[in-house]
Amino acid sequence: GGGRRCRRLEGEAARAVLGAAEALLFDCDGVLWRGEAAVAGAAEALGRLAAAGKRLCYVTNNSSRTRGAYTEKLRRLGFPPAEPRHVFGSAYCAARYLRQALPPGAAAYVLGSAALGAELEAAGVPHLGPGPAALPGPAPADWARAPLDPAVRAVLVGFDEHFSYAKLCQALRYLQRGGGAGCLLVGTNRDHRLPLEGGAAIPGTGCLVKAVETAAEREAFIVGKPNRYMFDCVVSEFNIDPARTIMVGDRLDTDILMGNNCGLTTLLTLTGVTTLEEVQGHQESDCPARQSLVPDYYVDSIADLLPALGD
């Protein structure tokens, strides 16, 4: 094989790469923290990057928190102060997408969390749900008679702990209305598993998006990584130069793929879901799709950047 090669970012190269960067985009879970615990040394590394004048933004596929909640979590875990406008979560980006794509006054039918609803409200997009679906009768065939809101022109699927067959029925009915032409199908992200400690995992939003796509026989527009829409949101709000931006992530098929596709320098950290063996497998392959998953650099943890960032 040959093509992209992933090198450990250390020493002189680390000083040069970080010195040339104007902006860094950080994936959150697996890079800055795992669940509620900050990655050791991560807050100090970001503190030094901020002190060096770097623009720091946060890009996460997790649709179950608002921008404000991320800002609060960063503060709680000791990261340098961030403002909600620096946080690009898939809930915020989905709301932004629908505000642009829907005609004024059109509403979204939402399978998702309260945070997704809050971001839609902040963007001025009317919505039905989130929350439990209203059931007009005891049997699934009755659910096909539940009232439909004529204002709905999009179905939005995010992380929904209360996903149900009844909601799937309602989503399909909106998506079929008018032959399907009048209703957008949007998903926040396709992460299919959320890893837990010790190798366990729970199903991710990708499973829910797939269920709606299967029912509707159409493909959703995906807002989150690896789609470049999320990066385009950052660019349009901060005017950053891709050639001077580093994407830091723990996942190859979302973080690193988006970074490579958008012309960013990509840095993998091994504190999350990916092992170096996976990177080596892609690197040795001649398949272009696998080559685009290979990051430019890796570190065991972003704390390894501390020596390159001085005192």
Question: Looking at the annotation, which residues are catalytic?
Answer: 27, 29
3-state secondary structure of 58: strand
Q: Which is nearer to Ca ion, 98 or 294 (CB)?
A: 294
Q: Which is nearer to Ca ion, 213 or 253 (CB)?
A: 253
Q: How far is the CB of 304 from ligand PLP (least distance, A)?
A: 19
- Does 30 bind Ca ion (CB under 5 A)? Our answer is yes
CA distance 295 to 279: 8
195 binds, among ligand PLP, Ca ion, none (CB under 5 to 8 A by kind): none
Q: How far is the CB of 199 from Ca ion (least distance, A)?
A: 16
Q: Which is nearer to ligand PLP, 196 or 287 (CB)?
A: 196
Q: Which is nearer to ligand PLP, 61 or 260 (CB)?
A: 61
Q: How far is the CB of 309 from ligand PLP (least distance, A)?
A: 23
64 binds, among ligand PLP, Ca ion, none (CB under 5 to 8 A by kind): ligand PLP
Q: What angle is formed at CA 230 by the lines to CA 290 and CA 122, rounded to 5 degrees?
A: 155
Q: How far is the CB of 156 from ligand PLP (least distance, A)?
A: 15
Q: Which of 279, 276, 243, 280 minimizes the C-alpha distance to 262?
A: 243
Interior/surface letters 32-51, b for 16+ CB within 10 angstroms, e for the rest: bbbeeebbeebbbbbbbbbe
Q: Which is nearer to ligand PLP, 62 or 66 (CB)?
A: 62
304 binds, among Ca ion, ligand PLP, none (CB under 5 to 8 A by kind): none
Site residues for Ca ion, 221-280, by CB under 5 A, read 250
Q: What angle is formed at CA 29 by the lines to CA 86 and CA 308, rounded to 5 degrees?
A: 75
CA distance 262 to 227: 9
Contact 108, 137 (CB under 8 A): no
Order of all β-strands in the sheet with 221-222: 127-128, 107-111, 152-157, 184-187, 221-222
- Does 191 bind Ca ion (CB under 5 A)? Our answer is no
Residues at the interface with ligand PLP (CB under 6 A): 27-30, 60-62, 64, 159, 191, 194, 204-205
Q: What is the DSSP string of 108-140?
A: EEEES-HHHHHHHHHTT--EE-SSPPP-SSSSH
Binding residues vs Ca ion (CB under 5 A): 27, 29-30, 250
